[in-house]
Amino acid sequence: MSQINPDLKKYWNKSFQKVSENKLPSDYAVKVESEFTRTAKICDLGGSSGVDALYFVSKGHEVTIVDISDAALDRAKLRAVAVGKADKLNTILDDYSDATIPIPDDTYDVVYARLSLHYFNRDTTKKLLLEINKKLKPQGKAYLTFKSPADTAELEHLKRTAKEVEPGIFEEEGIIKSRFTKDDLNQLLKEAGISNFEVKEITEDFVGKNDNIKSGNKQLLLNEVRFSR
């Protein structure tokens, strides 16, 4: 297990306080769950308070959330107990900004990361993609989404609040926020040695989800990455 950066932990615990207790599963989680093998073993990277993870659990899967916010993980565990599914939800407090994930290789049918991987520079992102691939069982599949620079409203908001330190890489309050294009992600996947992948643009709707987009919009344009082991 990597050493947790206390400043990052503090930042994400503070950010978590803004998350509604009534937040609903994302449209993306509902969409992709239908493609999972039944009773899959899932790793939810950056899964926070477990809204999507508990949706997966309700469908018969077993989920491990890896997140740096102990406050978020505490809420996830309480929610699992409340619905009688504590045995199906595991949590790991970890800072994977060093591009290591503290679980054995060949463990998961699915690695799922919704909006939790665009906080790293190019080199760390490449290493994380390789690390995710290692955690998948043979024939396992990764479902990952990244904020896209093609979302002009979201990007303009970011430019007002953060400093662009290199093309596509911003810094806000000491936190890296990347906005990789589809071509960037294709290149990173190739450099990571991953061959069986797909990158495409998707739109996620936030209407009625009790969730907020900082730009104020009700939709996000994202880049989705899928690959199989």
Q: Which of 124, 126, 75, 115 is nearest to 95 (CA)?
A: 124
* Residue 20: inside a domain: yes
- In the chain, the percentage of residues whose pLDDT exceeds 90 is 86
Domain of residue 172 covers 6-228
Give pLDDT tens digits for 95-150: 999 999 999 999 999 999 999 999 999 999 999 999 999 999 999 999 999 999 99
The answer as to whether 24 is a domain residue is yes
Integer-rounded Cα radius of gyration of the chain? 16
Q: 46 and 101 in contact (C-beta within 8 Å)?
A: no
Helix and strand tally (H, E) in the chain? 7, 10
**Whole-structure pTM value:** 0.95
Tell whether the model's pLDDT for residue 67 goes beyond 80: yes
For residues 111 and 136, is the Cβ–Cβ distance under 8 A? yes
What single letter denotes the amino acid at residue 119?
Y
CATH number of the domain within which 78 lies: 3.40.50.150
Backbone φ, ψ for residue 76 (5° rounding): -60, -45
pLDDT-based confidence at residue 212 (cuts at 50, 70, 90)? low
Tell me, yes or no, whether 58 lies in a domain.
yes
1 found inside a domain: no
Look up residue 120 and give its DSSP letter. Answer: S
Task: State pLDDT tens for residues 154-167.
Answer: 999 999 999 999 99
Q: Is residue 209 part of a domain?
A: yes
Domain count, the chain: 1
